[in-house]
Amino acid sequence: MIRVNVLALTEVTAAVLPGMVRRGRGAVVNMGSGSASVLPSFPLYSVYAGTKRYVAEFSRSLAVEYGSSGIDVQCQVRSRRAARIHGNRENKRRTEMWWGSYFYDKKS
């Protein structure tokens, strides 16, 4: 996960940025995750959340550093409802039950 979300992202970006700077234009679009900022991380996903936080901060820094060079850098974050990870209604229901049990106190 670290190789894909951190190392590969950094290396590919380093490979394409010089050409974008020479042309004076370009766009870098990275895929983030709500678990890095919008949603609190949940058990056993600390490495995933950490790598996605790297993606967000790396993107933000690049946007500041290269914005004046005509390069647009974005970090897109899809919510869990928009992602197609559910597959079908039953999986969606199970996911919502799990998330609900984590985020909501059932005592009230």
Q: Hey, which residues are catalytic here? A: 48
Pick from 106, 92, 101, 99: nearest CA to 34: 99
Pick from 39, 38, 66, 36: nearest CA to 54: 36
Pick from 28, 24, 23: nearest CA to 10: 28
71, 28 in Cβ contact below 8 A?
yes
CB atoms < 10 A from the CB of 88, how many?
Answer: 7
DSSP bridge partners of 75: 30
